[in-house]
Structure 1
Amino acid sequence: MSSLESARSSSVESVWAVVTSFHPDDLGPGIARLAPQTDGVIVVDDGSGPAAAEQLDHARASGAEVVALPENRGIAAALNAGIRRAFERGADAVVTFDQDSSVDADFVSTLVTLHDDLVESTPGGVAVVPQFFAGVDQTVVRAADGRLAARNPIQSGMLLPRSVVDAVGLFREDFFIDLVDTEYALRCASAGVAVMGAPGLRLHHRLGARYRAHGWPLRRLGVLTLSAPFRYYYRMRNRILLEKEYLPRFRSRLLRDGLIDRAHFLIVLLLARPRSAMWDTLRSAARDGRRGVGGRMPAAAAARARAISWDATRDDED
């Protein structure tokens, strides 16, 4: 029996979790924490193949239904496959998660409670996220009553009622990975859907690897969080795609975020070895973004990215 049974008067009576995975290493415990909080858990594996079979069996044993995609189609496609399946199973809302996210026992009920508190006063619809993602506050105070509006929320931990998905649509699969959630939040705002934060609620998550740069002056920056080199193709390309579509409506927001991203790209370029490979990766990403090209990165760009390493030392201290 779901722990949501006591909240059956909610406007979202059936809530399912959708968890995406790609070469997972420890799915069972996270699924076991989600199962009592929801009416069902769907794990969508994004083309990991036979190597993930044991972990997917652990997910099934913990109570999840598993959807295994035959090839890697990107996180947006994996999320969409899980959302569709949950709605087929009768869900009124889904909460989406990455495989690296974990939750406390009251996580889903807190999201649902805030949704119910806000839904009558937000005629365009409301999605709900935790205030904190991996320790980072992803909200701003919008009103005198202290309600928290989300700013660039991460999709992991996001409550999406079916009515919102019907109004806004699913995640954009041509983004493949990176800024998928940012685009969705901008689309929500364009459609009049509020994305609000649950005060004090935390989603535990492992971010990218932490490094300390070698040499001056980057050493003065301290610990840096870096993604796998290939991710910077998607981050650059999708940043440009976002700006092409949404800059007229969200100018100050996108200019600020774009400046922050481009400063990070400069740091990444200085740390990459060989630097020329990262330059080519970013340049091809920018060209594809300007041309409006989405989907999986070209094979040649992926091969260049695989050759890149960081001129930095891993920092694994807590």
Structure 2
Amino acid sequence: MAPLRVAAIVAAYHPDGELVATVAGLVATFDHVVVVDDGSPAAFASVLDRIEGVGATVVRRPTNAGIAATLNAGISEADSLWRPDFFATFDQDSVPVHDYAARALATHREASRSGRRVGFVVASSYSGHPVHTRRSSGAFAEAFDPMQSGFVVPRHTFDSVGRFEQGLVIDGVDSEFTARVRAAGFDVLVGAGCDIRHQLGRRDPVRLFGRELRLFGREISYNYHSPQRVYYIARNGTTLSRRYLLKDPSWVLRRMVEEAKAHVLRLAFSPNRRAVATAMIAGYRDSFRGRSGVIEPSVLRRLR
């Protein structure tokens, strides 16, 4: 039997020199590597040239269209060039362990042999933080709501359920794909030892009257996002809840609770609370109106 081939798809935007080193590591451990630049300015062309120089295929997209469109472009490129058996998706700030592909394939193989219908395999941790799980069955843990960086997706899954939903643009893309795969009867499993070093984004401490709040000796913090990003979080999260509530109520309710806690902290402690509130309201409204795609210019002007 011929060995299974895995193509790594890396989403890039304003790439720097660190990505060159990361891609060089991916080229050494994956069968193929495609880096898709999502409309970076011309000033970043030299970095993309260096990425090509280490052996990756680079796709330069003319405009910024969001993570779903970027990943789909990379999948299409890899599919047309090599028709790999699996596709592994990564953000540009993610560095997987050197044998990430082998570990993910081992989990897929062992689970399949035990009778599981594996939709895809996800990372086990990000910078030492274990992914949240929803249940464990024997030797395999099912991921709750994993980030797309580290997805290892077999070709048959994309053939069965389609690719990432481009209308969501940037937030909830991984969540929607996870829910869609589960609704089709597949499992989303944590890959044993599939660790990733990943920048977890900006977290701001909660302050009251200038003092940081702590609970049981631990700092209370929240993920800061710009009002524009909050719009997508609110809109797409609401859309997913409405779409999958009856299909997977426990997943939707748990996700709603986590999002509600994050929104409360943003509304209470974010430095631009009025714009954040405006973004949330606009996102909820547009979800119920059935709108998708890039945020409308009139809404963006209000947030600025």
- The reply to whether TM is greater than 0.5 is yes
Scaled by the length of structure 1, the TM-score of the pair is 0.87
CA RMSD of aligned residues (A): 2.0
Deviation per CA, 1:134-182: give whole Å up to 9, x if none: 3332253745523111111111111111111100110000100111001
Q: Distance in 2 between matches of 1:61 and 1:213?
A: 45
> Residue 239 of structure 2: SS of its match in structure 1?
helix
Tell me: CA distance 1:38–1:282, structure 2 relative to 1, closer, same or farther (3 Å).
Answer: same
The equivalent of 2:95 in structure 1 is: 102
The equivalent of 2:73 in structure 1 is: 81
Deviation at 1:85, TM superposition (A): 1.0
The equivalent of 1:313 in structure 2 is: none
Deviation per CA, 1:259-299: give whole Å up to 9, x if none: 22122112112233443222111110110011121111112
Q: Is the 8 A contact 2:36 2:58 kept in 1?
A: yes
> Residue 31 of structure 1: SS of its match in structure 2?
helix
Deviation at 1:9, TM superposition (A): 4.4
Deviation per CA, 1:9-30: give whole Å up to 9, x if none: 44xx221100001112231011
The equivalent of 1:126 in structure 2 is: 119
- Which of 194, 197, 206 in structure 2 is aligned with 1:201? 194
Deviation at 1:220, TM superposition (A): 1.2
> Residue 294 of structure 2: SS of its match in structure 1?
coil
Deviation per CA, 1:62-106: give whole Å up to 9, x if none: 211111111111100000000111111221111000001001211
1:219 aligned onto 2:212: yes
Tell me: CA distance 1:125–1:274, structure 2 relative to 1, closer, same or farther (3 Å).
Answer: closer
Deviation at 1:123, TM superposition (A): 6.1
Tell me: CA distance 1:72–1:141, structure 2 relative to 1, closer, same or farther (3 Å).
Answer: closer
Scaled by the length of structure 2, the TM-score of the pair is 0.91
The equivalent of 2:153 in structure 1 is: 160
The equivalent of 1:68 in structure 2 is: 60
- Which of 171, 176, 193 in structure 2 is aligned with 1:178? 171
The equivalent of 2:292 in structure 1 is: 294
1:18 aligned onto 2:9: yes
Q: Is the 8 A contact 2:131 2:146 kept in 1?
A: yes
Tell me: CA distance 1:111–1:220, structure 2 relative to 1, closer, same or farther (3 Å).
Answer: same
Gaps of 5+ in 2: none
The equivalent of 1:247 in structure 2 is: 245
Q: Distance in 2 between matches of 1:136 and 1:247?
A: 28
- Where does structure 1 differ by over 4 angstroms across 4 or more consecutive aligned residues? none
How many residues end up aligned between the 2 structures? 297
